[in-house]
Structure 1
Amino acid sequence: MALPIIEANQTLLVQAIIVYLYADPGLGKTSIGFTGDKAISFDFDKGAHRTGELRRGAVVQVQQWSDVANLTPQDLAPYNTVVIDTVGAMLESIKTHLALNNTNKQKDGSLKLKAQGLANNIFKQYVNTLIASGKDVVFIAHASEDQNGDQIVYRPDLGGKNRNELYRIADIMGYLTTVTTGEGKNARVISFKPCPTHHAKNAGGLGGETGEVWVPDLKQNPTFLADIIKQAKDHINRMTPEQLETIKADQDYENWKQSCTEAQHAGDLNQLTESLPQGHRYVMDMWYAVQRRAKELGCPYNKDEKKWLNSPEFNGISNEQLAHLQDFIAERGLDTKTVCEYLGLDALAQIEVKQFAAVKVEIDNYAKSMVKT
């Protein structure tokens, strides 16, 4: 039997795609997930019950990582769309699973760097398994509100390295928010077009020139997400592999440059450096973008440690501010180790005085995201 060969100028049909949807609290992102085609939701955030009558799909109430890891292809056979709700909680579930093994922990109880890398690998391998099985995968995330100079930026509430990885593997990524219409009414809209105020990605050509898709009444439109995914697939499958690769690469690079612009300290630069996608057509341009931002921030590079360092002129928070911040964190039910990992810092002392207020806002938003769907 002759081997079927698809030439470079021929379309390569895509059977499954990765969707990344992030939103402000209370906008119904979990309910949207249930409008996927034959959807099953992995409820890591334990919020599926809040969808009420809009819960139209199956649910796995995840108590521990093995609840998901032990699912077989036969278990998932009836479903076409797997919804990860939320991706941040999924990664925490994997890390908690690894922490059960004392050899993965440091003396203070935090995961060793090697174990954190293992968590990322487990995550990527599991997603690849779902894609290989022909399932569409929908990642749901909370939105975080970050300050970049005078500009407020909305992006997925996920640590830098994992966030950059999901940017890379997603086919479409949208920010769900509310806007006021000309009639003075509130309406929900998903923006798939990247701009300075939020991150997005649109290989599926959704929303035309504006990249905006309005969210209808889900009671009347129970296949809303399924329709979006089909539209994206149809668009992707009209392109050759070379065209699709170019579009994705260009969007990856634009998101990367935006992330570099938003970097505020050496911790951000180190996360970006660790996330450099080796083999990407723009990997050297991405590296140069990191270097340019490092120069703007005055952060030198230590070749021996292979890490960016904060500027010698770094003006860190005072001991009084440090104590205040520790109390601020405890009041919100968080711990310093978790917050430092979330912010990409080795210690709270790495925070600059000028970033003190913005960091408090970010920590407060992070705390709120841990208790909201």
Structure 2
Amino acid sequence: MAILRKNDVVKERPVIIVLYGTPGTGKTSLATTAESPMLIDTDRGFDRAVQRPDIVVTASQWEDIYNEEIIGKYVIENGVQVWKPGLISECKTIVVDTAKAMLDDYLSAYAVKMDYKLEKNSLKRYGLMGELFKQFVSVLRANESDIVFICHDKENTDGDITKHSPDCTGQSKDLLIRIADQVGYICKENNNRVIKFEPTDNRVGKNVAEIPDTWIPNYGTTEFETCMADIIKRVKKAIISKSDAQVKAKKDVDEARKKLAMVNDAEGANALIEVAHGLAKIHQKAFMNQMIKELSQKGIVFDKVTKKFVQNDKTAGSGNVA
């Protein structure tokens, strides 16, 4: 069991990205510009991509995806059990095209094959599917593989708003969105292809890396050849930088609390207000309230009118920051 403390630096890890969009927007072609890709083709679409990935696995059932040749197996060598890696060990990125076929068709059928009673019990079937899916993802992550799931676009109309989302059934889509680090919608604007990660009222998205709407380079250009690999690098960098920022924010709060413990007069308290304003925004209000509470016990109260600390005066208003 791995234990991660709050001040530990987070190491780079594999990421999971979901891409969805309308037909003809080049979802598969973009995904296979990731580093050393293996394409698990459940939608018979690999031959439509503008370039062939390193390895193509054509699948028509779950057993074609989760098997010893792909994942690996234990073998006995010289009387010792050793792990023999499968094809995934040769690849840096696993691309699943499409996630709907893999989850809603193949994995669902496999779950029923394991227990025929699940055919009429969708709740338990999706529970088992969730466990099998997590197992699949865990194996890929253990191999340090990045994962790109491709989905078609599904439109749902609510009044005047048409919302775009990955085409999977509700439970399958929930699994994908929850586990994904980044969810991008690919569409065409002014005859250019663009990928959009930021969620809005009319589309599902997830944007950990805070990537703005990005034009996808034209096929055949140097920029296109590494487009997905570059996006994945940005997501990994963003995750690490957010972790570093959290560590720094915690360190700043700890230092501010040490200074608070040493304050014994209004002058020192007011100087500490500037320190509070310099903290990460999420910590500012909580630290100011902590100041007000602890300093009031020392006879130093916060005047809501002047927004300053003063020595104890019965006419001065005091209280938490609103």
TM-score (norm 1): 0.57
Q: Equivalent residue of 2:57, what SS?
A: strand
Tell me, in whole angstroms, the C-alpha distance in 2 between the residues paired with 1:101 and 1:116.
13
Shift of 1:117: 2.1
How many equivalent pairs are there?
229
Q: CA 1:7/1:98 → structure 2, altered by over 3 Å: closer, same or farther? A: closer
Tell me, in whole angstroms, the C-alpha distance in 2 between the residues paired with 1:172 and 1:197.
17
User: Could you say which residue in structure 2 is the equivalent of 1:212?
Assistant: 213
Q: Equivalent residue of 1:116, what SS?
A: helix
State whether residues 87 and 140 of structure 1, in contact with CA within 8 Å, keep that contact through their aligned partners in structure 2. Answer: yes
Q: Which amino acid aligns with 2:99?
A: V
User: Could you say which residue in structure 1 is the equivalent of 2:271?
Assistant: none
Q: Equivalent residue of 1:238, what SS?
A: helix
Shift of 1:119: 1.8
User: Could you say which residue in structure 2 is the equivalent of 1:60?
Assistant: 57
Q: Does 1:139 align with 2:152?
A: no
Tell me, in whole angstroms, the C-alpha distance in 1 between the residues paired with 2:8 and 2:219.
37
Tell me, in whole angstroms, the C-alpha distance in 2 between the residues paired with 1:68 and 1:60.
8
Q: Does 1:176 align with 2:186?
A: yes
Q: Does 1:199 align with 2:197?
A: no
Tell me, in whole angstroms, the C-alpha distance in 1 between the residues paired with 2:93 and 2:155.
29
Shift of 1:14: 2.3
Shift of 1:56: 3.2
Equivalent of 1:39 in 37, 40, 61:
37
Shift of 1:123: 1.3
Q: Does 1:104 align with 2:117?
A: yes
Shift of 1:160: 1.5
State whether residues 8 and 241 of structure 1, in contact with CA within 8 Å, keep that contact through their aligned partners in structure 2. Answer: no
Shift of 1:242: 7.9
Q: Does 1:187 align with 2:180?
A: no
Q: Equivalent residue of 2:157, what SS?
A: strand
Equivalent of 1:89 in 85, 96, 101:
101
Q: CA 1:218/1:237 → structure 2, altered by over 3 Å: closer, same or farther? A: farther
Q: Does 1:76 align with 2:88?
A: yes
Q: Does 1:152 align with 2:162?
A: yes
Q: CA 1:199/1:5 → structure 2, altered by over 3 Å: closer, same or farther? A: closer
Q: CA 1:13/1:218 → structure 2, altered by over 3 Å: closer, same or farther? A: farther
Q: CA 1:113/1:193 → structure 2, altered by over 3 Å: closer, same or farther? A: closer
State whether residues 118 and 124 of structure 2, in contact with CA within 8 Å, keep that contact through their aligned partners in structure 1. Answer: no
State whether residues 155 and 198 of structure 1, in contact with CA within 8 Å, keep that contact through their aligned partners in structure 2. Answer: yes
Unaligned 5+ runs, structure 2? 73-84, 248-322
User: Could you say which residue in structure 2 is the equivalent of 1:226?
Assistant: 229
Q: CA 1:31/1:114 → structure 2, altered by over 3 Å: closer, same or farther? A: same
Shift of 1:33: 1.4
Q: CA 1:112/1:199 → structure 2, altered by over 3 Å: closer, same or farther? A: closer
State whether residues 100 and 167 of structure 2, in contact with CA within 8 Å, keep that contact through their aligned partners in structure 1. Answer: yes
Alpha carbon RMSD of aligned pairs, Å? 2.4
User: Could you say which residue in structure 2 is the equivalent of 1:236?
Assistant: 239
Tell me, in whole angstroms, the C-alpha distance in 2 between the residues paired with 1:105 and 1:162.
16
Q: CA 1:11/1:226 → structure 2, altered by over 3 Å: closer, same or farther? A: same
Identical columns (%): 34
State whether residues 46 and 52 of structure 2, in contact with CA within 8 Å, keep that contact through their aligned partners in structure 1. Answer: yes
State whether residues 187 and 215 of structure 1, in contact with CA within 8 Å, keep that contact through their aligned partners in structure 2. Answer: yes
TM-score (norm 2): 0.66
User: Could you say which residue in structure 1 is the equivalent of 2:16?
Assistant: 18
Q: CA 1:148/1:242 → structure 2, altered by over 3 Å: closer, same or farther? A: farther
Q: Equivalent residue of 2:241, what SS?
A: coil
User: Could you say which residue in structure 2 is the equivalent of 1:164?
Assistant: 174
State whether residues 104 and 112 of structure 1, in contact with CA within 8 Å, keep that contact through their aligned partners in structure 2. Answer: no
Tell me, in whole angstroms, the C-alpha distance in 1 between the residues paired with 2:244 and 2:180.
16
Structure of higher CA gyration radius: 2
Q: Greater strand share, 1 or 2?
A: 2
State whether residues 126 and 171 of structure 2, in contact with CA within 8 Å, keep that contact through their aligned partners in structure 1. Answer: no
State whether residues 32 and 218 of structure 1, in contact with CA within 8 Å, keep that contact through their aligned partners in structure 2. Answer: no
